[in-house]
Amino acid sequence: MRNRTYTADAEPGDTVTVAGWVHEIRDLGGIAFLILRDTTGKIQVKFEKDEMDDDLVETGLGVHRESVISVTGDVAEEPRAPTGVEVTPESLDVIAEADPQLPLDPSGKVDAELSTRLDNRTLDLRKDEVKAIFEIRAEVQRAVRDKFRDLRATEINTPKIVATGTEGGTELFPITYFGQEAFMNQSPQLFKQLMVGSGLERVFEVGPIFRAEEHNTPRHLNEATSIDFESAFIDHTEAMDVCEAVVKAAYEAVEENCQDELEALGLAEEFEAPSGEFPRLTYEEAIQRINATGELDEQLVWGDDLPTEGEKALGEDVGEHYFITDWPSEIKPFYIKDHDDDDTLSTGFDMMHPNMELVSGGQREHRFEHLVAGFEQQGLDPDAFEYYTKMFKYGMPPHAGFGLGGERLIMTMLGLENIREAVLFPRDRQRLSP
């Protein structure tokens, strides 16, 4: 429709063709209004029954809600119309009539369960506040990519079909690949590391990851978006700098470019990009502070992983994004390097939103012998990972990086209750379509 005008662009005095969905029809007797909705907003179409062609009136007022129509007519100022203008139709075409029985009400007047919404995402995304989440999600992806490029990183795409998982055979979805066993990749970890040893040195990727976790919680997905970064010649503290810069860039972009979307979500007033430096707590400080809150039944001791309630108590205590550093080596993966002066202390770090973990990162083990030993300690066969380990024999620089959960970033940024709200078509134990 080369002659289509977006409703937001219809100016008084114009003759326009607008097209979109029938949002609402209000019949007041001699006069009636049809509210037409498109991606840019809504516009009022006025029917003065006595002064208009009967067919036109009948078609316009007889059409079901959510049908697709186009309307050609003159635009005039009308202060009482929702957007201050209205169209008087000269012609009206019903392009796609909607079934009157809608499985979901896009006007939002009737609440729907999340599962009904996900079953009918097309209709669900006709709601301003749902559409807003995905406009913001797109803006966040744009902003993080831009920030990574500012920091001289090159965008890469690593394979999603792999022969071995990052951390062995657990939590992997098996594939039949031309008669061979293969898996859907759970993380770009090994591949991004292979690239820091190349001439690229510093890379990032925004892409899907797949985890066959049995978890079915409001914060887990079986297919998610990972925002990955890895760089040669930096240590874990520099990786934390990058991580903080990228998360801030995402918030700042949303604050700057998504005010309408924040408004639709009812967040325009409270939304604020984090300004100060994210505090960096050691693991030891973290467990002390958790213990001091008195929220846990049992005190944490060195070597414990942080339970969800512990994270929550600490998050409330800290009240902003923060890092946890210097974890016990034994609870971090083998490919994370230990401190040179204390091999019980890992250079691994987590970056936390007050409500949950967003990022896991660290300096990596770049020394061939240590890496191979790590595989063995983890109970993995180093030979199965030879495609990866052997590159460490040919000049692998020290390097560090992180993985940031794309949906968790959106979920915490917008205060969504369920991570599935941050994905168009989520995948979990029960849900495989749409």
Residue list, annotated binding site for ATP:
211-213, 219-221, 357, 405-408
Residue with token string 């020290």 = 398
Binds a second copy by CB under 8 A, chosen from 56, 102, 268, 356: 102
Decide: is 322 part of the binding site for a second copy (CB under 8 A): no
Alpha-carbon torsion (408, 413, 419, 422), positive or negative: negative
Binds a second copy by CB under 8 A, chosen from 66, 230, 350, 357: 66
Residue 213 known to be catalytic: yes
The tokens describing 55, both together, are 């067919």
∠ CA 291-294-297, nearest 5°, is: 90
Among 129, 135, 139, 213, the active-site one is: 213
Q: Minimal distance in Å, beta carbon 200 to a second copy?
A: 6
Nearer to a second copy, 199 or 294 (CB): 199
Is 46 in a helix, a strand, or coil? strand
Residues 34/25, Cβ–Cβ less than 8 Å: yes
Tell me whether residue 202 is exposed, middle or buried, using C-beta atoms within 10 angstroms of its C-beta: 0 to 12, 13 to 18, 19 or more: buried
Stretch that binds a second copy, among 76-84, 347-355, 371-379, 418-426 (CB under 8 A): 418-426
Binding residues for L-aspartate: 167, 211, 360, 364
Q: Minimal distance in Å, beta carbon 122 to a second copy?
A: 4
Alpha-carbon span 212 to 364, nearest angstrom: 25
Among 360, 365, 366, 420, the active-site one is: 360
Residue with token string 């309307």 = 71
Residues 203/230, Cβ–Cβ less than 8 Å: yes
Decide: is 398 part of the binding site for a second copy (CB under 8 A): yes
Nearer to a second copy, 315 or 361 (CB): 361
Nearer to a second copy, 90 or 173 (CB): 173
Q: Minimal distance in Å, beta carbon 96 to a second copy?
A: 5
Nearer to a second copy, 258 or 359 (CB): 258
Alpha-carbon span 402 to 405, nearest angstrom: 10
Amino acid present at 262: L
Decide: is 427 part of the binding site for a second copy (CB under 8 A): yes
Q: Minimal distance in Å, beta carbon 3 to a second copy?
A: 10
Binding residues: 167, 211-213, 219-221, 357, 360, 364, 405-408
Binds a second copy by CB under 8 A, chosen from 32, 52, 151, 212: 212
Residues 195/214, Cβ–Cβ less than 8 Å: no
Alpha-carbon span 106 to 123, nearest angstrom: 6
Q: Minimal distance in Å, beta carbon 286 to a second copy?
A: 25
Amino acid present at 77: E
Of 309, 270, 315, 312, nearest to 414 (Cα)?
Answer: 270
Nearer to a second copy, 261 or 311 (CB): 261
DSSP state of 305: P
Residues 251/404, Cβ–Cβ less than 8 Å: no
Report the phi/psi class of residue 49: left, alpha or beta, with left for phi > 0 and alpha for psi in -120 to 50.
alpha
Binds a second copy by CB under 8 A, chosen from 208, 279, 333, 382: 208
Nearer to a second copy, 224 or 324 (CB): 224
243-282 footprint of a second copy as x/- string (CB under 8 A) = ----------------------------------------
Among 137, 202, 219, 366, the active-site one is: 219
Decide: is 62 part of the binding site for a second copy (CB under 8 A): no
Q: Minimal distance in Å, beta carbon 90 to a second copy?
A: 19
Binds a second copy by CB under 8 A, chosen from 113, 178, 270, 305: 178
Residues 14-43 that bind a second copy (CB under 8 A): 19-22, 37-39
Binds a second copy by CB under 8 A, chosen from 32, 61, 67, 279: 67
Of 7, 30, 97, nearest to 59 (Cα)?
Answer: 97
Q: Minimal distance in Å, beta carbon 77 to a second copy?
A: 26
Residue 289 known to be catalytic: no
Tell me whether residue 98 is exposed, middle or buried, using C-beta atoms within 10 angstroms of its C-beta: 0 to 12, 13 to 18, 19 or more: middle
DSSP per-residue letters across 182-204: EEE-S-SHHHHHHHHTSTT-EEE
DSSP state of 384: G
Of 354, 307, 305, nearest to 332 (Cα)?
Answer: 305
Binds a second copy by CB under 8 A, chosen from 96, 110, 276, 305: 96
Residues 103-162 that bind a second copy (CB under 8 A): 103, 119-128, 130-131, 134-135, 138, 141-142, 145, 149, 152, 154-162
Alpha-carbon span 209 to 188, nearest angstrom: 8
What are the residue numbers of the active site? Answer: 211, 213, 219-220, 357, 360, 408
